[in-house]
Structure 1
Amino acid sequence: MLKAVPGTNDVFAQAKEYPFREPVFRYIVQSAEEVLRGAGAQMIHTPIIEYLEVFQKGVGPTSDIVVKKEMFVLEDRGGRLLALRPEPTASIVRAYNEHGMKVWPQPVRLFTWGPIFRGERQQKGRYKQFHQVDYEALGLADPLLDAEAIALMVRIYKTLGLRGLEVKLGSVGDPADRLRYNQYLRGLFEPYAQTLSEDSKTRLETNPMRILDSKSERDQQIIAELQPRPMLEFLGPEARAFHEKVCHYLDRMGVSFSVDPSIVRGLDYYVRTAWEVHHAQIGAKSALGGGGRYDGLSEMLGGPPVPGVGFGIGIERLAIALEQEGVRIPADPGPMLYLAPLDEAAKIEALALAEQLRPKISVEIGYTPKSPRKALEDALKKGARYVGFLGESERAKGVITLKHLESGEQKELEPLQLHSLFEGPEVQ
């Protein structure tokens, strides 16, 4: 029997693992959409497949996605290389440029959700295919947008019922600032080059800042011993003033945060603001999501200068946090009415009646005739409020036997009476 590819998961209502239960996914997506639409953002859906260059240029040559060959790449019939999206921001910026959104009132604020694909080693909360809610604000280089994005991200978590959140705010400066900082780090780490992890040996040449984000215990021991100066000390005057304004705006909005000089983003397009939102109960790798500013990304993709800021929220990791904190997800309501045919002739009667009632209420039917007792068991399992029995006796009388499952009250109703009942306010 064929099974799903390791690192991918089926999402459905009765999934054994909490992160893959469809009602949990829906609760997260609908809550995020409520917050983001309420702030004026518009939904966008981009293809999950793009030309490889979109992501190669977008995420940058030193990101793990490129260096570790995490992208799923394929070739079309014309020999052009394509890739399944490893992150959504580059696609949204590509769409902004392609569809002339620069002439819209700025900033253009967009959000989406959907699957993301990365060929990384599977572990709890990290999969080859995972899902993400993404928000982007494009077209304005104002620290107010950075602060708003952070506030919106926190509001999504709180709307879902999460507590115990910590916003960690940093800055990766401007390109010239990062160049100076990488030169400093390269000189600091080069004497330890042979003892660094293989990943960090590569990063030492391409982007030493990424060493600070290493998950290797050996690397972290070296970092603790060397105690490198933080990136914030290398900020130029413009990046520093920008960072201070973001802090000021967050204070004014009442968003709690701590300045964390160690925040490093994994994609090359980030500049200035970078942040993470953490939740201690999901373990050492406690980041639920993060975001930052990426003012040079559009130009990397061959477009005009377009400043932008945004964030991503991993749905599976968020679902794990909801479970750990004991947040109750609203259960799907069962059908208002379950119509149970008691013989073969009643099957089409049940379906015809269901089609008449479905514009008003939710109705399910039994597709196989069963005894009243078995039909009642099915109705209870489905969480129905009423069960309606249709059989030979009902057909002879021209009625439906209707039972209220909570009270046990049972009565015979003609079809017109049934319609009238479900038009009343007491069943809404």
Structure 2
Amino acid sequence: MAIQRPKGTQDHLPDGSPKLSLDTRAAAFQHVQDTARQVLTRAGAQFITTPVFEEADLVKRGVGGSTDIVRKEMFTVYYFGDHGGFILRPEGTAGIVRAYLQNGLKQLPAPLKLWTHGPMFRAENVQKGRLRQFHQVDYEVLGSTDPLVDAEAILLMVEVVKALGLTGVRVKLGSIGDPADRDTYNAYLRDLFGTHVERLSDDSKDRLERNPMRILDSKSAGDQVLIAELGVKPMLDFLGNDAREHFQAVQKYLDAWDVAYDVDPSIVRGLDYYRRTAWELHHEGVGAKSALGGGGRYDGLAEQLGGPLVPGIGWAFGIERLLLAMEAEGLDIPGLGGPLLYVVALDDEFVGHAATVAITARRVARAEFAYRAVKPGNAFRDAERRGVRLVALIGSDEAQQNVLSIKNLATGVQTTVATHELNAFLSEQLEHTGSAVAPNSAVAQENA
């Protein structure tokens, strides 16, 4: 039996592959990334990349030692048998904040907006929309505590998914207050759950001591039953004046921009460095767990990583989950289409010449060529399979006269074009159709 890909991973395949779904199309991933790039760069965000593996201590501090991610789902990287301290990144925020601190990015104008995309890794149970290697689009803003920054971050997340055509999305918005508010809330939770310890799951018993807010995120059905029975008060009831005013300001901006949201008191972020604004983006088309992604303010993270106080806020969504939502709404991605030009030699001696013609044509359009001599009928059939619009034939007469016999497969019209005038001819064709743009064109550069 041939070797198979690891469980919980996907191959992202070229269009035309058999059994291809939207979340396994390489072109679909590229489309999501290009759309995010367009929306976020227009808002002033700059692209950043960080390693796919980091020091284990960074991930433990950045994600939190009490989380399931750190305790159960991390992929540890060993080399030469003597380190064992590298972790495949489970999320992007900690690495970006580490890069900000290490590379002196505080010198750049604040607030600094950064974004990235790439693979993340978690050793979790595989299910619909939950993979062990998955991909995220990640947006972070560093250097400001202004609620206007929070509201803009939420707006941009919504704008990215709407630019992809999604309509069935909804923001669930909450706040987890300031550290003093959280201390008060955690004390309340310890008192409340302390008399029901025997009913808590083992994980939640541990969380009761470490971080009681994490109990509210428990995946245990028994824990959720207990939470409902006890009528646990939400974090929103414990907000101090400053955090409450901040939360109200965020909502005021969102209301002004017509961003639809529901205030959801159940949203919590259990880690110590999180502050105030927290939200999730949901879509019912991705399964029982409807969240496409989420975000929150993390003003204490830089200090947790050993740096100075640097306020921050960010979000991420899973590309695979977003593509499932698009598929649920019946959305597809814009087709790239086939080449504008397919150059075919009719005799073996002209194959090299055909290649040269096609390569030169790529200065203005997408062009391919046949790697061997082909008869006209076969050339046209092959071109149709590739989605080609124009087929250029080179036989002995064309080579001698330095011209190309070109057939438009859509109209059936045939014409003769001088080889040195081909690019001008192709440019004229593009003016009428506006597609099949060359890789070095302005549009392609914007999407690079």
TM-score range, shorter chain: over 0.9
Residue 329 of structure 1 and its aligned partner are, at CA, apart by 1.1
Superposition map of 1:283-362 within 5 A? 283-362=287-366
Superposition map of 1:176-191 within 5 A? 176-191=180-195
Match of 2:66 in 1: 62
Match of 1:97 in 2: 101
Residue 218 of structure 1 and its aligned partner are, at CA, apart by 2.8
Q: How many residues align?
A: 428
1:156 aligns with 2:146: no
For the 8 Å contact 1:182–1:208, the answer to whether it is kept is yes
For the 8 Å contact 2:74–2:88, the answer to whether it is kept is no
| Shift in alpha-carbon separation, 1:69–1:335, aligned structure 2, 3 A | closer
Task: Measure, in 1, the Cα distance between the counterparts of 2:122 and 2:160.
Answer: 25
For the 8 Å contact 2:33–2:117, the answer to whether it is kept is yes
| Shift in alpha-carbon separation, 1:420–1:255, aligned structure 2, 3 A | closer
Superposition map of 1:10-409 within 5 A? 10-14=11-15, 16-75=20-79, 79=83, 81-265=85-269, 268-392=272-396, 394-395=398-399, 398-409=402-413
Task: Measure, in 2, the Cα distance between the counterparts of 1:268 and 1:347.
Answer: 66
Q: Normalising by structure 1, what TM-score? A: 0.93
| Shift in alpha-carbon separation, 1:417–1:297, aligned structure 2, 3 A | closer
| Shift in alpha-carbon separation, 1:268–1:391, aligned structure 2, 3 A | farther
Task: Measure, in 2, the Cα distance between the counterparts of 1:51 and 1:295.
Answer: 21
Task: Measure, in 2, the Cα distance between the counterparts of 1:236 and 1:284.
Answer: 34
Alpha-carbon RMSD across the aligned residues, in angstroms, is 2.1
For the 8 Å contact 1:62–1:268, the answer to whether it is kept is no
Residue 303 of structure 1 and its aligned partner are, at CA, apart by 0.3
Match of 1:9 in 2: 10
* Identity %, equivalent residues: 49
For the 8 Å contact 1:131–1:315, the answer to whether it is kept is yes
Residue 143 of structure 1 and its aligned partner are, at CA, apart by 1.3
For the 8 Å contact 2:9–2:134, the answer to whether it is kept is yes
Task: Measure, in 1, the Cα distance between the counterparts of 2:80 and 2:304.
Answer: 24
Residue 201 of structure 1 and its aligned partner are, at CA, apart by 3.5
Task: Measure, in 2, the Cα distance between the counterparts of 1:417 and 1:100.
Answer: 52
For the 8 Å contact 2:77–2:84, the answer to whether it is kept is no
For the 8 Å contact 1:58–1:90, the answer to whether it is kept is yes
Quick check: 69-78 or 229-238, which moved more?
Answer: 69-78
Q: Secondary structure at the match of 1:245?
A: helix
Residue 295 of structure 1 and its aligned partner are, at CA, apart by 0.5
For the 8 Å contact 2:143–2:311, the answer to whether it is kept is yes
For the 8 Å contact 1:70–1:119, the answer to whether it is kept is yes
Residue 195 of structure 1 and its aligned partner are, at CA, apart by 3.7
For the 8 Å contact 1:270–1:295, the answer to whether it is kept is yes
Task: Measure, in 2, the Cα distance between the counterparts of 1:266 and 1:344.
Answer: 69
For the 8 Å contact 2:64–2:271, the answer to whether it is kept is yes
Counterpart amino acid of residue 9 in structure 2: T
| Shift in alpha-carbon separation, 1:388–1:83, aligned structure 2, 3 A | same
Q: Secondary structure at the match of 2:116?
A: strand
Counterpart amino acid of residue 382 in structure 1: R
Counterpart amino acid of residue 26 in structure 1: Q
Q: Secondary structure at the match of 1:161?
A: coil
Residue 232 of structure 1 and its aligned partner are, at CA, apart by 0.9
Task: Measure, in 2, the Cα distance between the counterparts of 1:29 and 1:267.
Answer: 29
For the 8 Å contact 1:86–1:116, the answer to whether it is kept is yes
For the 8 Å contact 1:52–1:73, the answer to whether it is kept is no
Stretches of structure 1 lacking an aligned partner (at least 5 in a row): none
Task: Measure, in 1, the Cα distance between the counterparts of 2:286 and 2:232.
Answer: 28
Task: Measure, in 2, the Cα distance between the counterparts of 1:287 and 1:390.
Answer: 56
Quick check: 408-417 or 299-308, which moved more?
Answer: 408-417
Residue 208 of structure 1 and its aligned partner are, at CA, apart by 2.4
Task: Measure, in 2, the Cα distance between the counterparts of 1:218 and 1:343.
Answer: 75
For the 8 Å contact 1:336–1:361, the answer to whether it is kept is yes
Counterpart amino acid of residue 37 in structure 2: E
Q: Normalising by structure 2, what TM-score? A: 0.89
Q: Secondary structure at the match of 2:78?
A: strand
Quick check: 293-302 or 328-337, which moved more?
Answer: 328-337
Query: What's the CA shift string for 1:228-279, capped at 9, x where partnerless?
Result: 1111112222222222222222222222211111002365532211001111
Stretches of structure 2 lacking an aligned partner (at least 5 in a row): 435-448
Residue 78 of structure 1 and its aligned partner are, at CA, apart by 6.5
